[in-house]
Chain A
Amino acid sequence: MLLWLVFDLVLIGAIVWLAWAALAARDGFEMIVLFMVLGLFVALAWVRLQAPDVALAEAAVGSGITGALLLKTWRHRRGRAAGDAAADARPSRALGFGVMGLVTVLTGMLAAVLVLIPRPAPSLAETVFANLAVSGVDNPVTAVLLNFRAYDTLLEVVVLFAVVVVVWLLGDAEADRRAPRLGSIFFGFARLVLPVMVLIAGYLLWLGGFAPGGAFQAGAVLGAVGIVLLLGRLYTPTAADRLPARLVFGLGTVGFAGAGLATLALGNAFLGYPPEAAKTWILVIEAMLTVSIAATLAGLFFGAAPSGRPTRESDR
């Protein structure tokens, strides 16, 4: 018992210190790396709190993909002191103290609420476990995401789609052609790791049915494969790739909504799968989501609609 308490205190202390250190770091690169480490520690804390599904997603998406996006933006702004505390305007003492006071009051109120609310808090856990048998999967989180609250997940996929549209409209594909090429160590790494990552993504997707895993975790790992391919220019998108890319981005939304319409046509509620075949429905939807999420995350990292210029030999 005491050992666990020590573990908890050290872990929470590390998390809060990392958050502080990341946000107070003088250098933008240091800030991003500390933030990524923070994500991994938060994931560890969530494993401790018996939330392995969410911990996987936090490590892969919250730390990995977000970190890659931040580093790309940092690189883009390099030379303009992006993220450096030195470039930060120092607040006046009055403002500093005012904000500190406000934050203290707010967090104090939050803490008071936490202590005062009745425990255990009311929950839907019993309802979920009572209906798990008809959901088609054994992992309660997947059951909630893809069956009981599938409508939420559909809208989440719509958000992802909307954002990739926005990012591709804003981005300039030419801007990143200035990026330096990576060395041979990177390619050795890529050759070893990429096939394994594809395998892990497929494994996570299948695992989601009965153990921690699922479409979003698998999509994030597969998306990271795309990011490594783009980084090493093992794959350089051209204008011809726009249409297929857009079709795959839309696959998640269209496929998921299409499944919803199909359930309506079968005479069920929207996204109410026939119980005897629920597992198949969920797996097919999750497979479409995985491919679409992976392409979308890699598309977000690429950050622009690919331009028409074919790669010249001098670029190589």
Chain B
Amino acid sequence: MSTALLYSFGGILLIGVALHRLVLTTDLLRRVVALNVFAAGIASLLIAAAYRGPEAAADPVPHAFVLTGIVVLVSTTAAALALIRRLDDLERSVDHDT
């Protein structure tokens, strides 16, 4: 089995594990982590697809996609976490009022 295929299956397993937790967890922070693991799985698929063996240079276009993806993902994560913190503050203030 080729190296690329092996790492592709690893990426698919990451997607499976992350998807399972993403759907079942009710905790928001854990859901954000699951989303990040999910994205790592997809990125692994792209990186494996770009691999052309130990001698040849890898395809740089999927690499650029993944680089863009990583930055967009950290942005999404930061926004989601800010929403979680805000929600937490609001819940706290409701707890205080009652």
Residues in chain A within 8 A of chain B (CB atoms) = 4, 8-9, 12, 15-16, 19-20, 22-24, 28, 31-32, 35, 38-39, 42, 45-46, 48-51, 53-54, 57-58, 61-62, 65-66, 69-70, 72-74, 76-77, 80, 82-85, 87-89, 91, 95-96, 99-100, 102-104, 106-107, 110-111, 114-115, 119-121, 123-125, 128-129, 140-141, 143-145, 149, 152-153, 156, 159-160, 162-164, 166-167, 170-172, 175, 216, 293, 297, 300, 303
Contacts and interface: CB of A to CB of B under 8 A. Distances in A.
Contact of A77 (B24, B29, B79): B29
Contact of B88 (A45, A51, A77): A77
A162 B64 CA distance: 21
Interface of A is mostly: helix
Interface of B is mostly: helix
Interface in B61-81: 61, 63-64, 66-68, 70-79, 81
Contacts of A153: 68
Contact of B24 (A32, A62, A69, A91): A91
Contacts of A87: 27
Q: Which of B9, B52, B68, B89 has the most CB of A within 10 A?
A: B68
Given A23-B21, A106-B16, A88 B27 contact: yes
Contact of B68 (A58, A120, A152): A152
A83 B64 CA distance: 32
B94 interface: no
A62 B14 CA distance: 15
Interface string B6-19: 11111011111111
A4 B54 CA distance: 11
Given A69-B81, A73-B85, A175-B89, A100 B58 contact: no
Interface of B: 2-10, 12-21, 23-30, 32-34, 36-37, 40, 43-45, 47-52, 54, 57-61, 63-64, 66-68, 70-79, 81-86, 88-89, 91
A9 B79 CA distance: 36
A23 B29 contact: no
A159 B72 contact: yes
A70 B29 contact: yes
A145 to B, nearest CB: 5
Contact of A88 (B25, B45, B64, B86): B25
A171 to B, nearest CB: 6
B37 A38 contact: yes
